[in-house]
Amino acid sequence: MPHLHRLAVALIVAAVAVGVLSPSAGSGRHGVNARRAGATASAGDGAGASARGTGRGRRAVAPASPARTAAPSTPGFDPVKAAAAARAAGANELGQVPILMVHRVLAKPKVSLDRTPAQLYAEFTRLAREGYVPVTAAELVTGRMNVPAGRHPVVLTFDDGSPTHLAFDAAGVPEPDTAVGVIERVARENPGFRPVATFFVNADPFALGDRAAAAMSWLAQHGFEVANHTTHHPDLTGMGHGAVAREIGTDQKMITDATGIPPVTFAFPFGAPARLSWADRGAAAGARWDFQGMFLAGWRPADSPFEKDYDPRQIPRIRDDGRVRQDDCRRFCSIAWLDWLAQHPDKRYTSDGDPATVAFPQAKMIYLAEGFRARACPY
């Protein structure tokens, strides 16, 4: 897993030069202006870079999710009671959601992207203590985040289907030093911390060979999400439409055959997309897809799926890491962003505990996506 491409580093340096990417340099309703800079640095396996546009010249996209379908003209809840409950919870469901991106989990890291089981345990325990509740990428993009009042969603994502993510002992129990083992331990020790995550996999997930299908099925049965990351992890930016479709279609078929659940989320290899219209929906290799969320390898928290600037085809993630010097990780990786969100709780997504409503302070009404007005619960 080599380091960031030079283009990615150049984009980051340029953004830092004008003071727009640092958690401490934010302003406005998000407190983070990386989106305005148009720079999205990727930190995948040999990570590339993707410049996020401002929306000019890009076709508007309405996700196919039921969560974003126009709702009835009258709310299906008591507005007065719902607003009182939202105020008591300090709800802000237009706030930002951290989406952590993890690669290998090794006791002895070999490259900077690797994380140790102890590091994951410490960070996930911190999340639990600060009121975060894991949701899957699919739950995020469909707006179906059933998070208790006053708590915050977080998405744990793991790329490439590494054998360090899932392995079983002789009794069929996940090994304790794997990603799944660490998540389950934190959940046991911290009631309310859901043991769920999203695994973006390629061919031969978890290096389990003919047992890979059973492993993916196990994950789905236990509430985890298995999602599309292409079959061979190529750089899609240099490929034609047909080749991109085959890479997505073969992975889609493998996962669907194993789990019975067609993936609705997709992570771009190297964090760099081909033409978005080539990847978001299609059919190839005996499979069909219509992704409701497509994930980059970005360097900032994601917008709420209910927020008007949310782009389901370019959802940023945060590299899971500490304060290493490389790539200015001390400012842009997960620990720095979690510190920033803790210091700016008004910028963070906080649930009102009711999945039927979208609750937020009255002053934030202007940021609500039009399709959610019937579910709006301003207070």
Query: How confident is the model over 219-262, as pLDDT tens digits?
Result: 999 999 999 999 999 999 989 999 999 999 999 999 999 999 99
For the domain covering 66-378, report its CATH number: 3.20.20.370
- Hey, what are 233's tokens? 């992890």
User: What DSSP assignment string belongs to 183-244?
Assistant: HHHHHHHSTT-----EEEE-SSGGG-GGGHHHHHHHHHHTT-EEEE--SS---GGGS-HHHH
pLDDT at 52: 33
pLDDT at 3 over 90: no
Q: Indicate if the pLDDT at residue 308 is higher than 50.
A: yes
Residue 17 pLDDT more than 70? no
The H-or-E segment that residue 158 falls in is strand 152-159
What is the reported pLDDT for 330? Answer: 79
% of the chain with per-residue pLDDT over 90: 73
322-370 residue pLDDT tens: 766 666 787 889 999 999 999 999 999 999 999 999 999 999 999 999 9
Asked whether the predicted pLDDT for residue 87 surpasses 90, the reply is yes
Give the model's confidence band at 49: pLDDT under 50 very low, under 70 low, under 90 confident, else very high. Answer: very low
Domain boundaries, the chain: 66-378
The CA-CA-CA angle for residues 300, 370, 150, to 5°, reads 55
Per-residue pLDDT averaged across 64-80, rounded?
Answer: 60
Range 110-131 average pLDDT: 96
What's the rounded mean pLDDT across residues 314-319?
A: 96
Position 74 confidence tier, pLDDT thresholds 50, 70, 90: low
